[in-house]
Structure 1
Amino acid sequence: MTPLDHKLLRDLWRIKGQALAIGMVIAVGVMMLVMMTGLVSSLGETRAAYYQRYRLADAFVPVKRAPERLASHLAQISGVAAVETRVTGRALIDLPDQSLPVQAQALSLPERRRPALNDIYLTHGRFPALGRTEEIVLLQSFAKAHDLLPGDTLAATMNGSRRQFKIAGLAQSPEFLYVTAPGELVPDDARFGVIWMHRAGLAAAYDLEGAFNEALLGVTRGANVEAVLDRADRLMAPYGGSGGYPLADQFSNRFISEEISGMAAASKGVPPIFLAVAAFLLYIVISRMVQSEREQIGLMKAFGYTDFEVGSHYFKMILAIALGGALAGCLAGIASGRAMIGLYGLYFKFPFLVFRLDPASFVTGVTVSVVSASAGGLWVLRQVFALTPASAMRPPAPPDYSRTQRLGKTLSALLDQPSRMVLRRLTRQPVRMVGAMVGIACGMGLSVAMITIYAGFDRTIDLTFSVVDRSDVSVTFTQPVGEKALFELRRIKGVMQVEPVRQVPVVLRNGLHSYRSAITGLPQKPILNRALDESMAPIQMPKTGVVLSSVLAEILQIKAGEMLTVEVREGRQPELQVPVSAVAQTLLGAPAYMDLTALNQVLREPGRVSGAYLTIDGARSDGIYQTLQDMPTVAGLSLKEDALEAFVVLMNTGAGAMRYVMGAIAFVITFGIVYNAARIAYAERTRDLASLRVIGFSKGEAAFVLLGELAVVTLISLPVGAMLGYYLSFGIAAGFSTDLYQIPAVFDPVSYGQAMLVVVIAAVISGWLVKRDLDRSDLIDALKTRE
């Protein structure tokens, strides 16, 4: 080893605390990059393999009733590679331990072959035997939630008729990676099931013998899916076709696609923040080290070391810290990725999900960490090249305090000697103090933003289930029915309020922007389920026009007062031009609202409703549920308390769980920045503090001179960090928000107080560690001139 390499090891050991803190910040950035890119790769590749192996359809064409002979016409459409027709229908499952029937979807299976499209993965048991119409295959997640096994029996109501079934097997399907009941957004394994059974039995239950009500299409590579759907829709129009849609709009696939794209965007945006902080810290550490080692640099150059050799010495120190942090980040990314993939395995219903490492993420992580660290260090190395031996070995000019005059005399009268030394340090080197203040403020800003996001998640739950939805139970009918059904609901003992609603599937278009959604028809002054404006006041439904959620308005790039094209996907399927009357602030989903009477008028179906919101007497709930279950027009029931519980689980898993990881990271970064500021100040003033001890200052007074500087910088950084956190919280909230739920950036004084407490605790711990080193320091060694 060369003498410079020996010096490098000594210097690294001397600044081990600072190097470790900077390495931790780099490790966090690399960990996030490795973990997120690994999750994106794992989810994306597993999804693609699952879809391909079980032949998930590229397009779905629902229809009211079409003869089976149309399958051959669909197969003749240019670009269609495969066609599978099937029967689908809603069902209600009765469970002995449940007072409320559970919604389910029934799907047909071919009797003598496997499905050409949308095949299922059998996990337990067997497929239904030929001719056994009472045998079914049940969705595994639903069966697991209710402890159902092959051989058990199950009662279900289909098309108003109650039937008994025997479970032959359990299965998973690529069509149901994200499992929700129709019309709902929040998944819950216990509240929605899927039943597969032979085509003949299901067709008989829904009066569809010799017909189908959904066609699945597989398209050839390179085919235009929209063109295929356009021809298929024209073919199905005479039979009640409600408009086909591509796989991209299939709800389960749409949600997992949003999860993957959101994670991919985060992997590109979040790690650079941490690496930029690390570069900033390295710049501070190396620049101050160069300033404190001016004489050593001069001696090295005087003894014949070139500018390049001296500069390489300091650059090696930068590389050692960056590479050490990057290696630790790679290992931490593997561990955290494997932990997170377990949550996603519960979140999405893959038959298998293994964390797959992306080799490119390791290369990218190491490269970016080295480049970012070098960016901060190379700027400092200019000072090394600029120093000549003569100027480097000459001590810097002492600071001039003569210009303080009256201010200096006033301070001398008001402050003791240690306090004046702290103040002089702050005023003599304002650039360094501002740098330390900005660093601490950035750490606090990240803590503020993450704690605010915690409050935002709670705010979403409170507003959605207490302010927006004030019902107890929601009822869904099998099809739009007349107002007579509402009178039947009101006659049930224990039902206190009934508020009608109509859900109409639509495609909303504004120029090149479109979104497949539904328009919700509400009474003019809704009480149980309301739309809210920016001030969280209820919006009265306008007699004309549509009210869009803020998320939907942003997707469609439209504002209040502009015209919106609405393509209705049921009944006569008219195409409407309606004005956007207002924009509502919703936190769950991306809904669109209209006045119920106005909606029925434009559809030419007066007095129609597709569901209702109820408030009930909890003491009579069992009887109410039984009465609703016996009504042939009722397709499903949903309890708000069950939806609330499922929503909490949803936000605590998957991407929602990432907020806890980032919260912990925010604390690590905050502590690292504060600790670095304290260590740098101590390293710069070791000799000065030892001199104070020699001339009679006590340990406490010497520590006060050092830690008073840290205390003032920390206190000044608190309001700056609060302001940074306020603006940063909006960006992080937008990153966590999806089409399913939106997280508001809520100004919560408690969040700011907690973040300030984090900074203060970090400063106290850092100050204690530095004071301990100061008390243990050897005065003779500190006063010696470093060789």
Structure 2
Amino acid sequence: MVSPLDKKLRRDLWRMKGQATAIGAVIAVGVLMLVMMTGLTASISQTRATYYDRYRLADIFATVARAPERVEARIAALPGVSSLQSRVSGQALIDIPNEDLPIQAQALSLPDQGRPVLNDVYLTSGRMPEAQQSDEILLLHSFATARGLNPGDRLRATMNGARRSFRIVGLAQSPEFLYVTAPGEFIPDDARFAVIWMGRASLAATYDMNGAFNSLLLGLSRGADENAVLDAVDQILAPFGGTGAYPRDQQMSDRFISEEISGLKAASKVVPPLFLAVAAFLLYIVINRMVQSEREEIGLLKAFGYTNIEVGAHYARLVLAIAFGGAIAGCMGGVVAGRAMVGVFVTYYKFPFLVFELEPASFVIGVTTSTLAAAAGGVLVLRHVFALTPATAMRPPAPPDYSRTGQIGHSVNRFLDQPSRMVLRRLTRQPGRIMGAVIGVACGMGLSAAMMTIYAGFDRTVDLTFGVIDRSDVTVTFTHAVSDKTLFELHRMPGVEQAEAVRHVPVVLSLGQRSHRGSLTGLPPSPELNRALNAQALPIDLPRQGIVLSTALADLLNAKPGDLIGVDVREGRQPLIRVPVAAIATALLGAPAYMDLEALNRMLREPRRISGAYLSIDQAHAKRIYADLRDMPTIAGISVKSQARVAFEVLMNTGAGAIRYVMGVIAFIITFGIIYNAARIAFAERARDLASLRVIGFSHGETAFILLAELGAVILLALPIGALLGYGLAFNIASGFSTELYQIPVLISPRSYGTAMLVVIGAALFSGWLVKRDLDRLDLISALKTRE
């Protein structure tokens, strides 16, 4: 048998279905974000772990100039080493028919017998190369797909200065190349970088590595001391030109995926609670005003014998029904959104399979948190329910005192008509309710302003990186450090307008207990084509002494100007020195460190050496320049800035960057939900008063003005507060999106805030239209009746 309170619950939910739906939507998007982000984190983490385990990704990587194979036995005997795989690695340039630029590639050896012990490959099509066939290769699947290559096709490539023709026998993926970039670059581009696998004997002959290796992979046993193994490997390989062993978490591909996972985890801890807090606030306002409007009903219920617990439980169930409904909808939406987004991540990060993992705790946390957040708002209201006695509740509440409107009212009342005075009285005599609505709308404005600021920050990252910092057209990378005379040869090419030297040196930078494995970039004292900029986007002249750190790197090392940075060089003589931090530069791509080129070469005791060049060219001569560069034997890679910019934009619009669009849509939903609720609440609690005004002669327009002018005043008061909230929120969201790959600046622009204001005003106009439509349809007789 259905109890009277159950019937009342259903009637109340149906009567406030618009408000309940809007509040439920706010709760739903908070839970959706929580379930989606935790699901993405769990899925990517589990897929990565499964892939690494199944194809045996190495725990330690080491590179060396040239080490004899007999060294392997010494390293394999180290405590904690469970498996070992040596290999040959080299750079290559691939010639694509009808393509002006050669494509950078990395060539890696496969064992002549059996599968690799570590860093095995996953065949997507075709077969493994045969040892006796020196021209057979595997090609990276993503590159082959981007270029339309298939098993059976032939490929021409330049390796160690010699051009060779190869036959593709299979396409492969590898856990080593989930995030695929050319050596020394940060931006992935499937069409601009390839990986070639071929037999060990054939590749060793090509790079003069017979009986030797230049790349080493190690697997560790459970409980092994990683640092001890790293130190021992460095000591053994040092005489052979070892550049320093490093653990898996410093490997380029794994490092960036870890950054992605960390960003998702951080966002899942910040964004959903914000939405749920807004929902709890809205529920508090709705239920509080509902209780105030149902005083007489509460009194009747208590007079008929219902206890405080029973009456309070009724309103508690009303709150929980809305919260639970929103939470369930959010859970289902989170599963759908998570499945859609994880497919994007898996494709982008080159996983051959997907282990879709929903985090059960996220459902429990989402439902529990949303329910508790709603209950927190409801508990404050239930105090009023318990406090009402039947006699007090059944007596109509004392009418609000509108006899005084304060100093403002006295001075302006004589200039206002009656509807305007009524609006002013409500604003000045019920500041608590008005401020509650203002704060709610300000939260929506803050979310919209923050997301518009983030959108502008992404655009600023692209414009500053490729328009202000990097002003070159082409970047040339050499196979090794060469004489700076090569720069003059480049400058003499027809069509080359300017050539600027650069040297990249692998280093480990350290300060105190913090360290970073990266590179040190040597530039001319006053570079023109690739510059270090200060916080005002002005060029920094590189000092003769000292190092200039990017903002991201300075934060990572907790360094400031004047600090002494340890520089452990990992090539050549490998000196270990300390240099002072001269300045902090603004760099939004990567975490670079700059140094005067001459000072860097002096530190390395290798004068007048460069490892690359930035070129400014006449586009009319581009094809001729590319052809000349391709014929230079020392060229390891050629990068065109326009192509890099397109690849970077694709990078930011996929993966974690794509979530900003999801958050933008959610911010709009939240904004509309808050404003619509504010309008509906005002209408619900004033329906009787507005009906009375209609009966005594007020027109449709006048009664609508009384209601909507209040909403307009709330919106106007909320806009500046929301702008301040958006300013603070933008920094938190930008921090969550920023990674070591790129940093998102907080760009406060009038356009961003103007767009956010238009979103709020648009939501207010639409909500006002919906409420006015209901007001015009209002049944005066029903509105004036007392509900029992």
Smaller-chain TM-score range? over 0.9
Q: Which residue is equivalent to 2:329? A: 328
2: CA distance between counterparts of 1:411 and 1:120?
80
Q: Which residue is equivalent to 2:379? A: 378
Structural mapping, 1:614-763, within 5 Å: 614-763=615-764
2: CA distance between counterparts of 1:226 and 1:104?
31
Q: Which residue is equivalent to 1:604? A: 605
Q: Which residue is equivalent to 1:214? A: 215
Deviation of the 1:409 alpha carbon = 5.3
1: CA distance between counterparts of 2:645 and 2:212?
39
Q: Which residue is equivalent to 1:245? A: 246
Unaligned runs of 5+ in 1: none
Structural mapping, 1:87-102, within 5 Å: 87-102=88-103
Q: Which residue is equivalent to 1:186? A: 187
2: CA distance between counterparts of 1:202 and 1:78?
31
Unaligned runs of 5+ in 2: none
Deviation of the 1:407 alpha carbon = 5.7
- Render the CA deviation track for 1:146-180: whole Å, top value 9, x for unaligned: 10011111010111111111101000000000000
Structural mapping, 1:84-163, within 5 Å: 84-163=85-164
1:774 to 2:775 alignment: yes
1: CA distance between counterparts of 2:353 and 2:408?
72
Contact map agreement 2:405 2:428 (CA 8 A) in 1: no
Q: Which residue is equivalent to 2:37? A: 36
Deviation of the 1:650 alpha carbon = 0.3
> 3-state SS of the aligned residue for 2:98?
coil
Contact map agreement 1:118 1:175 (CA 8 A) in 2: yes
1: CA distance between counterparts of 2:223 and 2:355?
30
- Render the CA deviation track for 1:745-764: whole Å, top value 9, x for unaligned: 10110111111111111111
Deviation of the 1:404 alpha carbon = 4.5
Identify the range of structure 1 (613-622 vs 242-251) with the bigger mean alpha-carbon deviation: 613-622
> 3-state SS of the aligned residue for 1:685?
helix
Contact map agreement 2:280 2:373 (CA 8 A) in 1: yes
- Superposition RMSD in Å: 1.0
1: CA distance between counterparts of 2:605 and 2:405?
85
Deviation of the 1:354 alpha carbon = 4.8
1:551 to 2:552 alignment: yes
- Residue 418 to residue 210, structure 1, CA distance change in 2 (3 Å): same
Deviation of the 1:410 alpha carbon = 4.3
Q: Which residue is equivalent to 1:340? A: 341
2: CA distance between counterparts of 1:343 and 1:58?
27
Structural mapping, 1:223-242, within 5 Å: 223-242=224-243
2: CA distance between counterparts of 1:464 and 1:458?
10
2: CA distance between counterparts of 1:420 and 1:199?
89
Tell me the matched-pair count: 787
Structural mapping, 1:392-541, within 5 Å: 392-404=393-405, 408=409, 410-541=411-542
Residue 426 of structure 1 aligns with an amino acid whose one-letter code is: L
> 3-state SS of the aligned residue for 2:19?
helix
Residue 754 of structure 2 aligns with an amino acid whose one-letter code is: G
- TM-score calculated relative to the size of structure 1: 0.99
- Residue 429 to residue 496, structure 1, CA distance change in 2 (3 Å): same
2: CA distance between counterparts of 1:771 and 1:404?
27
Contact map agreement 1:337 1:355 (CA 8 A) in 2: no
Deviation of the 1:299 alpha carbon = 1.2
1: CA distance between counterparts of 2:406 and 2:339?
64
1: CA distance between counterparts of 2:668 and 2:578?
52
- Residue 730 to residue 408, structure 1, CA distance change in 2 (3 Å): closer
- Render the CA deviation track for 1:204-253: whole Å, top value 9, x for unaligned: 11111000001100000111211101001000011111100000000000
- Render the CA deviation track for 1:383-406: whole Å, top value 9, x for unaligned: 111111122122222223344487
Q: Which residue is equivalent to 1:313? A: 314
Residue 177 of structure 1 aligns with an amino acid whose one-letter code is: L
1: CA distance between counterparts of 2:565 and 2:347?
39
- Render the CA deviation track for 1:113-167: whole Å, top value 9, x for unaligned: 1110010001111111121111100000000111001111101011111111110
- Residue 538 to residue 267, structure 1, CA distance change in 2 (3 Å): same
Identify the range of structure 1 (260-269 vs 18-27) with the bigger mean alpha-carbon deviation: 260-269
- TM-score calculated relative to the size of structure 2: 0.99
Deviation of the 1:411 alpha carbon = 3.5
Q: Which residue is equivalent to 1:369? A: 370
Identify the range of structure 1 (410-419 vs 596-605) with the bigger mean alpha-carbon deviation: 410-419
Contact map agreement 2:55 2:175 (CA 8 A) in 1: yes
- Residue 123 to residue 402, structure 1, CA distance change in 2 (3 Å): closer
Deviation of the 1:454 alpha carbon = 0.7
Contact map agreement 1:495 1:615 (CA 8 A) in 2: yes
2: CA distance between counterparts of 1:625 and 1:95?
13
1: CA distance between counterparts of 2:283 and 2:437?
12
Residue 657 of structure 2 aligns with an amino acid whose one-letter code is: G
> 3-state SS of the aligned residue for 1:589?
coil
- Residue 639 to residue 317, structure 1, CA distance change in 2 (3 Å): same
Contact map agreement 1:276 1:372 (CA 8 A) in 2: yes
> 3-state SS of the aligned residue for 2:508?
strand
> 3-state SS of the aligned residue for 1:579?
strand
2: CA distance between counterparts of 1:411 and 1:83?
86
1: CA distance between counterparts of 2:454 and 2:406?
50
2: CA distance between counterparts of 1:41 and 1:734?
21
> 3-state SS of the aligned residue for 2:112?
coil
2: CA distance between counterparts of 1:212 and 1:405?
87
Deviation of the 1:343 alpha carbon = 1.4
Deviation of the 1:360 alpha carbon = 1.7
Q: Which residue is equivalent to 2:197? A: 196
Contact map agreement 1:503 1:519 (CA 8 A) in 2: yes
2: CA distance between counterparts of 1:41 and 1:408?
59
2: CA distance between counterparts of 1:206 and 1:109?
14
Contact map agreement 1:137 1:196 (CA 8 A) in 2: yes
2: CA distance between counterparts of 1:585 and 1:247?
29
1: CA distance between counterparts of 2:332 and 2:345?
20
Structural mapping, 1:569-588, within 5 Å: 569-588=570-589
Contact map agreement 2:151 2:170 (CA 8 A) in 1: yes
Q: Which residue is equivalent to 1:283? A: 284
